[in-house]
Amino acid sequence: MTLEGKTAVITGGSRGIGRAICKKLAGSGFNVGINYVSNPTAAEETLALVEQQGGKGFLCPFNVADTDAVNEAFKKITQDIAPVDILINNAGITRDGLMARMKDSDWQAVMDTNLKGAFSCSKAAMRGMMKSKWGRIVNITSVIGFLGNGGQVNYAAAKAGLVGLTKSMARELAGRNITVNCVAPGYIVTDMTDGLDSDIQQAILAQIPLGSLGEPEDVAASVAFLTSDDAKYITGQTIHVNGGMYMGN
């Protein structure tokens, strides 16, 4: 079955892992919606990269944490372009700090973007998928959701929550031929990990059997697989892309 021409939206598609996913899915022949919230220049660069490689894309700025903005954006994409066939919930932020000092606003911001954002975008996108009886949703969780991490209770809880969301959605949507899966990256070289002190980087590297941080393209390859017809019988699962840092389920 060819999936060429299907419409994909990648939240946080403008930079880092999201940019690599946009390029990879455009290479699969999908028309990729590049979402971002604050940095149009990065999003335009991503669109240019997609077009340079002969792919099709469009920009779709909205804040995933704002449910009304999400609903409005998916309505507009459906009207102006096409119903969304493939959704990659990738947008994510960190607001790190030890729990004893963590502000409620730092807890809430991470929950709203990393967990509620995936819920709202999925809910808005799945209407069209249910109608067409085909869809793919991939949620980008994290190794931290499985291991936990001091200083990241908000992030770890949101990422672990995505796994429960994924499994429940997979059960609800399987009858409509919509698969829902997670990809759980380990430490990947992006702006998010750029600020880590070199001693922290060394400590992380010591826990990675393959001996290096990952690249955004390593994550994008698994996302592309899960959106492909080769993965049509896989749902409710997590693919770990972490150099062996975590080997559980």
The nearest distance, CB 215 to ligand NDP, in angstroms, is 10
Question: Which residue, 50 or 91, has its beta carbon nearer to ligand NDP?
Answer: 91
- Strands annotated E in 149-199: 178-185
Q: Is 155 a catalytic residue?
A: yes
Does 12 sit near ligand NDP (CB under 6 A)?
yes
Q: Output the CA angle 174-180-182, nearest 5 degrees.
A: 150
Does 238 sit near ligand NDP (CB under 6 A)?
no
Half-sphere exposure of residue 81: CA atoms within 13 angstroms, side-chain side: 24
Strand order across the 238-241 sheet: 56-59, 31-34, 7-10, 86-89, 135-140, 178-185, 238-241
Does 136 sit near ligand NDP (CB under 6 A)?
no
Beta strands at 135-140 and 178-185: parallel, antiparallel or unpaired: parallel
Does 72 sit near ligand NDP (CB under 6 A)?
no
Does 16 sit near ligand NDP (CB under 6 A)?
yes
Name the burial class of residue 80, with classes exposed (0-12), middle (13-18) and buried (19+) by CB atoms within 10 angstroms of its CB: exposed
Does 152 sit near ligand NDP (CB under 6 A)?
no
Phi-psi region of 17 (alpha: psi -120 to 50; beta: other; left: phi over 0): alpha
Q: Which helix (H) or strand (E) is 47 found in, with range?
A: helix 40-52
Question: Which residue, 118 or 178, has its beta carbon nearer to ligand NDP?
Answer: 118
Does 156 sit near ligand NDP (CB under 6 A)?
no
Does 37 sit near ligand NDP (CB under 6 A)?
yes
Does 181 sit near ligand NDP (CB under 6 A)?
no
What values do phi and psi take at 87, rounded to 5? -125, 130
Beta-carbon contacts of residue 200 (< 8 Å; ≥ 6 apart): none
Question: Which residue, 124 or 134, has its beta carbon nearer to ligand NDP?
Answer: 124
Does 115 sit near ligand NDP (CB under 6 A)?
no
**Residues 241/218, Cβ–Cβ less than 8 Å:** yes
**Residues 141/238, Cβ–Cβ less than 8 Å:** yes
The nearest distance, CB 225 to ligand NDP, in angstroms, is 17
Residue 182 and residue 180: Cα distance in Å, rounded?
Answer: 7
Does 15 sit near ligand NDP (CB under 6 A)?
yes
**Contact with ligand NDP (CB under 6 A) among 33, 55, 57, 92:** 92
The nearest distance, CB 171 to ligand NDP, in angstroms, is 23
Does 79 sit near ligand NDP (CB under 6 A)?
no
Does 154 sit near ligand NDP (CB under 6 A)?
no
**Contact with ligand NDP (CB under 6 A) among 31, 90, 120, 235:** 90
Stretch 197-226 residues interacting with ligand NDP (CB under 6 A): none
Note the residues at the interface with ligand NDP (CB under 6 A). Answer: 11-12, 14-18, 35-39, 42, 63-65, 90-93, 113, 140, 142, 185, 187-188, 190-193
Catalytic residues: 155
